[in-house]
Amino acid sequence: MSSTCLAFYLQKTHLDRTTYIFHKQDNNLTLCPVSHFLALALADDAFDARGINSVEDVLRIQVMTPRNSLHLKWKPHMLNIPVFSRAIHTTERIRISPDKALPYDTFNQYLQHLEHNAEFEHMLTPYCNRRGTANAVDTVATTSERNQVMDHSRADIFKRYYISVKVKRDVQSTYLGYPARESIIETVERFSLTRNPRAPKKLSNEHKKTIERDPQLVKLCDQQRSLRKLIKRKHGSVPKSKDTALHHEYTELENTIRAEKQTLHHKMFENMRQKFFATIDTIKIERQLLELSINKKLKMNNNDKVQFVFENLREGPHKQRVSSADSEVNITFNSIIDTDTFPISCPGTQCLFCLGDSQLPHSARIYSFSRPDHLRRHVQNCHLRYLDPDALLWCPHPSCPDALDGVEDFQGPIKDVSPMASRSLRASVEVASGLALSDEALDVQCRAAAQNRPFDLVANNCQKFCSQILQRLVNNGAITQGQFDALAVKGFQPLI
């Protein structure tokens, strides 16, 4: 009687040559390692002997007397080829790499996909395989043999990291003096005991929409759109800005968004699976004992006793309606309250940097200085002095996702600034000039400044006002004389 065996050894050093012997598993070919290795060897044409083209050729080989065995040798150039190779993307399709081994991280990802497809409750990792092997070998081998199989240098490694937390012996029967029922203990230890074919395998479209509405992800996407606008304004397009600081920051932000999406997807999927396995057994038991189906459980037997009908929230995000079936009362509540307590148009004595600092308490974020010069000293000494004048600056207002091209873009009142900065400019002009202006006059000036237009294009009734404000801004140091002269170059003549 002949048998086909496979000798597989792991050699870390020239002295260490631990060899594992595998044989055919006739009762379950799916778990037969020899069949898998034969398939890999035939696919790679790894046998040194000619004429081996199929499994039948291997099985037809006879061991003649006086020999006790025949060794199937590998081709010399195949000895350094990894047995477990990684999959790589090519121009045609996904292929198996001829020389790159399968990394541990990729193998771990494969097992996690297998866990989801097999509907297991608990996470499946390579550590599960090693731990299961260690506990199985521990029942039939000595401590030294177990250490050899697991490649452990000390016996306490198994006790600390690999021994099962479930007791393998029937302590109950042993204590009561009854025959042990070890089969029950073995069944409880099985990984597939809580497997459920109805376990979710992917997120629904509603879950994906919830991820897209995540506040942190929305904020990052808004920053990306704002940065894309800034790049297009300076370079024409994102590809044309390659090898620039803006393109580098855009790439980093894109990677951050991709990683955030993957994190949210994984977290929501795991929460969904945990919720499923935590409730499915109770639902099944209730259906059996109470003889309820899904449809029966959701049905109302006495419709006449229903007092209220709650309308679906699809009517609008700001209203919830409660209708009484008996009294025909229709009540509408404006229950959605704006939680943004930060002003859009800030007073000229309020620091935008402090307002956007989430680490500060609320009272410090909305604090207003008594005088504009105190605010200017605070902004210069506490914020602007630590910023690179040429570096990209995000608008510090908590509701503004726009990017500014450096500190000067934030300070300059006649440049193309972000919407929040232009709103704050409106109040800053009023305080710096010392004049109480109408809302119309201030809005006209701010729109002209934000659109980089000279003030001679504003309404005639505001022109003298604007010239006075500009002169006050120069005197107070809010704008430089050069900026004031730039307006004159564009055609505006001061009327003072």
What's the confidence (pLDDT) of residue 254?
A: 92
- Residues ≥6 apart with Cβ < 8 Å to 112: 123, 124, 125
Kindly state the average pLDDT of the residues 233-242.
87
Higher pLDDT, 303 or 469: 469
Per-residue pLDDT at 478 exceeds 80? no
What span, in angstroms and rounded, lies between the C-alpha atoms of 91 and 109? 23
| Residue 47's pLDDT band (cuts 50, 70, 90) | very high
What span, in angstroms and rounded, lies between the C-alpha atoms of 419 and 292? 58
* 1 half-sphere exposure, CB direction, 13 A CA radius: 0
The pTM of the full predicted model, rounded to 2 decimals, is: 0.50
What's the confidence (pLDDT) of residue 311?
A: 41
What's the confidence (pLDDT) of residue 317?
A: 43
The two structure tokens encoding residue 407: 């500190």
| Residue 182's pLDDT band (cuts 50, 70, 90) | confident
What's the confidence (pLDDT) of residue 436?
A: 42
What's the confidence (pLDDT) of residue 263?
A: 93
What span, in angstroms and rounded, lies between the C-alpha atoms of 116 and 200? 8
Which range, of 18-27, 274-283, 426-435, averages the lowest pLDDT? 426-435
What's the confidence (pLDDT) of residue 421?
A: 45
Taking the CA atoms of 253, 257, 263 and 266 in sequence, report the sign of the dihedral they define.
Answer: negative
What's the confidence (pLDDT) of residue 468?
A: 56
The two structure tokens encoding residue 204: 């629904």
Per-residue pLDDT at 4 exceeds 90? no
**% of the chain beyond a pLDDT of 70:** 64
- Residues ≥6 apart with Cβ < 8 Å to 428: 348, 372, 413, 478
Higher pLDDT, 471 or 244: 244
Per-residue pLDDT at 451 exceeds 80? no
Per-residue pLDDT at 102 exceeds 60? yes
What does the pLDDT look like over 358-370, one tens digit per residue?
Answer: 777 777 787 888 8
What's the confidence (pLDDT) of residue 469?
A: 60
Radius of gyration of the chain (CA): 37
Query: Which residue spans within 422-487 are E strands per DSSP?
Result: none
The string of DSSP codes covering 243-262 is TSHHHHHHHHHHHHHHHHHH
Per-residue pLDDT at 260 exceeds 90? yes
Kindly state the average pLDDT of the residues 293-321.
45
What's the confidence (pLDDT) of residue 341?
A: 58
Q: What torsion do the CA atoms of 41, 47, 53, 58 make, to the nearest 10 degrees?
A: -90
What's the confidence (pLDDT) of residue 138?
A: 92
Q: How far is CA 250 from CA 247, 387, 409, 425, in A?
A: 5, 19, 19, 28
What does the pLDDT look like over 373-406, one tens digit per residue?
Answer: 888 888 877 777 667 666 666 677 766 666 666 6
Per-residue pLDDT at 201 exceeds 70? yes
Kindly state the average pLDDT of the residues 428-442.
44
Which range in 10-19, 75-84, 369-378 is most confidently predicted, on average pLDDT?
75-84
What does the pLDDT look like over 329-353, one tens digit per residue?
Answer: 444 434 333 444 566 666 778 887 8
